[in-house]
Chains A and B, each alone.
Chain A
Amino acid sequence: MSFRIAPLIVCALAFAAAPYFLPEFNLYQVCLIAGTALVVLGLVVVTGFAGQVSLAQAAFVALGGYGSAVLHSFWGLPLWIGIPLVSAIVGLLGFVLGLLTLRVSGHYLALVTMALTAIVQLGLIYSDPLTGGAAGMPMPSFEMFGFTLSEGRQLYFAIVPTTAFFFVIVHNLQNSRYGRTLAAIRQSPTAAQAMGIDVLQFKSLAFGASAFLGAFGGGILAVLSTYLDPAQFGIPQSVYFLTVAVVGGLMSPLGAIVGSVVFVFLPDFLQSFQTYLGLVFALLLLCFILLRPDGLISLWQSPRGLVRMIRTGGAN
């Protein structure tokens, strides 16, 4: 464990105290942040750690949401079993897909994952009896041991610990043998292979992990939005998740959370500029990739980074 005790206690206290101080709407936002962060954590693993551009995240999110909804409506499987189960299946699917597709990399991989998202979206639209087609389907309510969790206040206790759990795993993964292997593959696949690393298998594992986290986050986000609309799971949505990851910091699990905080709160701050919201998101992505490709988190990690950035005009 590379965690110090003090921040851990502060986090635990904040978690326990928040429901007493925050109003319902803010707690709902916290849940939204946790769900988005889970999806983006997947991108941190596959794109940040392993260096593979994936535009398939929206597809995994869709499969997570739709999968658990369909399991519920056809077999009455409660969501608290359905979401992890579907995520595991999607994760496995991601691993197999990775074995097939990760022989190509760079822009070829971006194109393939882009096509994958488009296929999944069309598949959802054309599987009418199962998914409600283009009109979408309602997400069943989240029931656990006879209780129905519907408000942010209640879902908070289920969602936030889940994200925290996976955050710790991804955080520790970074400095593990597995994380270092992925870093080696990112820096030079050829050198990694020369050292005896099975590059394809490790890249596929990372892709599988991103699929699992994407589907898990997708299930949570679907519970929060209460409705599944296939129009929300297109290629632009994949770019949106990538934007959150880049603005937060692609190389750090904490970046996924920082990015999600920014992108959940931003629409509130810009309430009178709703028309320009998409434009602001795109501008943020452009500015960060150009001036600060390691995201907001890099300002935190090196406090003088901000000063240096302003002084050099981002030319470092």
Chain B
Amino acid sequence: MLGQLLVSSITSGAVYSLIALGFVLIHKGTGVVHFGYGDQVTFGAYAVLIGQALIGLPFWPAVILALLASALLGALIYGTLMWPLRNSTLLTKIIATLAVGTLLREFLRAYMGPSAWPFPFLLSPAPVQFAGLYLVPANLAIVGVSLVLLFTLFFLFERTIVGKAIVAACDNRIGASLVGVRVSSVFLAIWILASLLATIAGVLVAPLLSLSPDMGLIGIKGFTAAILGGFTSLPGAVIGGITLGVLEALAGAYISTALKDVITYGILIVVVLVRPQGLLGTLAVKKV
């Protein structure tokens, strides 16, 4: 019973990890917490749906089209909003990202309707029995994809010159531009990368949840996962996501299903207040 519970909880944990990865990427990279990221996840899934239903593409070309569309969206958000607002106060930036999220959600509600759409599974949702546990291939794929993405990102930042330029630009903007890193292109790359991540998350998550304009509210779970992991660490995001998934499943099974979400939000508040650096992050010392 417990084993089965843990196996299933890892799926939702992986979903939270994927979304948390995007948050951490944008926050670590550009210093902005993107409050509309959950809605970008929804947008990605809808883009696939639009490609299939309206243009009549098969599934995979529709996914590729959605990835292109989301890359464009990321570039658009950076170019028209975050770049002009780069010297604004944090308050303005927070409101701007909230506005992006609301805009995407309301756009989808206006053009695709407020009700839920069915979304195809990538792999079979039928369970397979293995060592006494029921495993669902579609769910395993989510876990697999988030691990692959984590390692890809890790490789990118640790082993490639582009990745190192990104890390340098994040650590010290002026220093990086002095050694020849074009900081604005680095930020653009981060926004595009995070938007692609959002679409991948959306395609994987949409079959599990119901795909409606309000699916983006799952973003708050991604926040919780990112905060658990420290908000600046990529492996932390994945560990935070899995931890949250397991905690939620345990709370749902042993305390009350109704209070499952309340516990998630409670975790968010408690971690921010008690240990804002999360499980793995390091505390930023504020310089005056």
Mark each residue of chain A from 173 to 190: 1 if its CB lies under 8 Å from any CB of chain B, else 0.
000000000000000001
Nearest chain B CB to A202 CB, angstrom units: 17
Partner of B95, one of A100, A114, A234, A285: A285
Cα A115 to Cα B228 with chains together (Å): 14
Is there contact, CB below 8 Å, between B262 and A114?
A: no
Interface flag for B88 (CB, 8 Å):
yes
- Bitwise interface map of A from 89 to 114 toward B, beta carbon under 8 Å scored 1, else 0: 00000000000110110111011101
Q: Which residue of B lies closest to A273 (CB)?
A: B110
A-binding segment of B96-104, B155-163, B172-180: B96-104
Name which residue of chain A comes closest to B90, CB basis. A106
Q: Are B100 and A286 in contact (CB under 8 A)?
A: yes
Q: When the two chains form their complex, are residues A283 and B268 in contact, meaning their CB atoms are under 8 A apart?
A: no
The answer on a CB contact under 8 Å between B99 and A286 is yes
Query: Which of B7-15, B184-192, B269-277 forms part of the interface with chain A?
Result: B269-277
Closest to A108 in B: B272
> Quick one: given A108-B276, A290-B85, are A278 and B95 in contact (CB under 8 Å)?
no
Q: Does B209 contact A (CB under 8 A)?
A: no
Tell me whether B258 is interfacial, beta carbon within 8 Å. yes
The answer, yes or no, to whether A256 is at the interface (CB within 8 Å) is: no
Among the listed A104, A236, A239, which residue makes an inter-chain contact with B272, where contact means beta carbons less than 8 Å apart? A104
Q: What's the nearest-Cβ distance from chain A to residue B19, in Å?
A: 14
- Whether B35 is near chain A, meaning CB under 8 Å from some CB there, is yes
What's the A-B contact tally at a CB cutoff of 8 Å? Answer: 118
With A47-B91, A118-B261, A126-B259: A110-B217 Cβ-Cβ less than 8 Å: no
User: Is A275 at the interface (CB under 8 A from chain B)?
Assistant: yes
B95 in contact with A242 (CB, 8 Å) = yes
Question: Does A23 sit at the interface, judged by CB under 8 A?
Answer: no
Is A279 an interface residue, CB under 8 A from the partner?
yes
Chain B residues, Cβ within 8 Å of A100: 273
Q: Which of B91, B105, B107, B265 sits near A115, CB closer than 8 Å?
A: B265
Interface size class of A (residues with CB under 8 A): 35 or more
A110–B220 touching, CB < 8 Å: no
- Do B265 and A103 touch (CB < 8 A)? no
Q: For the complex, is A136 an interface residue (Cβ under 8 Å from B)?
A: no
Interchain CB contact under 8 A, A119 and B262: yes
CA distance in complex: A289, B99 (Å): 9
Check if A290 sits within 8 Å of B84, measured CB to CB: yes
Q: With contacts A53-B95, A122-B261, A283-B103 known, is A290 near B276, CB below 8 A?
A: no
**A112 touching B85, Cβ below 8 Å:** no
| Shortest CB distance A241–B (Å) | 12
Q: Any chain A CB within 8 A of the CB of B215?
A: no
A56 → chain B closest CB, angstroms:
11
Report yes or no: B85 in contact with A107, Cβ–Cβ below 8 A: no
Q: Would you call A114 and B220 a contact (CB within 8 A)? A: yes
B283 within 8 A of A: no
Does any Cβ of B come within 8 Å of A76's Cβ? no
Most buried by A among B81, B99, B100, B259: B99
Nearest residue, chain B, Cβ from A101 = B273
Q: Is A51 an interface residue (CB 8 A)?
A: yes
In the complex formed, the residue of B with least CB distance to A117 is B265
Contact status A104-B276, CB under 8 Å: yes
**Across the interface, do A112 and B220 meet the contact criterion of CB distance under 8 Å?**
no
Task: Assess whether A285 is in contact with B262, with CB atoms less than 8 Å apart.
Answer: no
In contact, A103 and B273 (Cβ under 8 angstroms)? yes
In the assembled complex, A161 has its CB within 8 A of some CB on chain B: no
In the bound assembly, the distance between CA atoms of A276 and B108 in angstroms comes to 10
The residue on A at minimum CB distance from B89 is A51
Q: Which residue of B has the minimal Cβ distance to A188?
A: B288
User: CB within 8 Å of A: which of B131-151?
Assistant: none
Out of B96, B105, B259, which one reaches A290, CB within 8 Å? B96
Which B residues are in CB contact (< 8 Å) with A119?
262, 265-266, 269
Q: Could you mark each residue 123-135 of chain A with 1 if its beta carbon is under 8 Å from any beta carbon of chain B, else 0?
A: 1001000000000
Chain B residues near A239: list those with CB within 8 A. Answer: 98, 102
When distances are taken between beta carbons in the complex, the residues of chain A under 8 Å from B103 are 279, 282-283, 285-286
In the complex the two chains form, what is the Cα distance from A196 to B96 in whole Å? 33
A293, B95: Cα distance in complex, Å = 10
- Are A53 and B94 in contact (CB-based, < 8 A)? yes
If A104-B273, A114-B35, A246-B95 are given as contacts, then 20 extra A-B residue pairs at C-beta distance below 8 Å, sorted by A number, are A51-B91, A53-B94, A104-B272, A106-B90, A112-B272, A114-B220, A115-B268, A115-B269, A119-B262, A122-B261, A126-B258, A234-B217, A239-B98, A243-B99, A276-B110, A279-B110, A285-B95, A286-B81, A290-B81, A293-B92
Interchain Cβ contacts under 8 Å between A and B, 13 examples: A104-B273, A110-B35, A112-B269, A115-B220, A115-B224, A119-B269, A123-B262, A239-B98, A243-B99, A278-B102, A278-B110, A285-B103, A289-B92
Contact surface of B with A, Cβ cutoff 8 Å: 33, 35, 80-81, 84-85, 88-92, 94-96, 98-100, 102-103, 105-107, 109-110, 217, 220, 223-224, 227, 258-259, 261-262, 265-266, 268-269, 272-273, 276, 286, 288
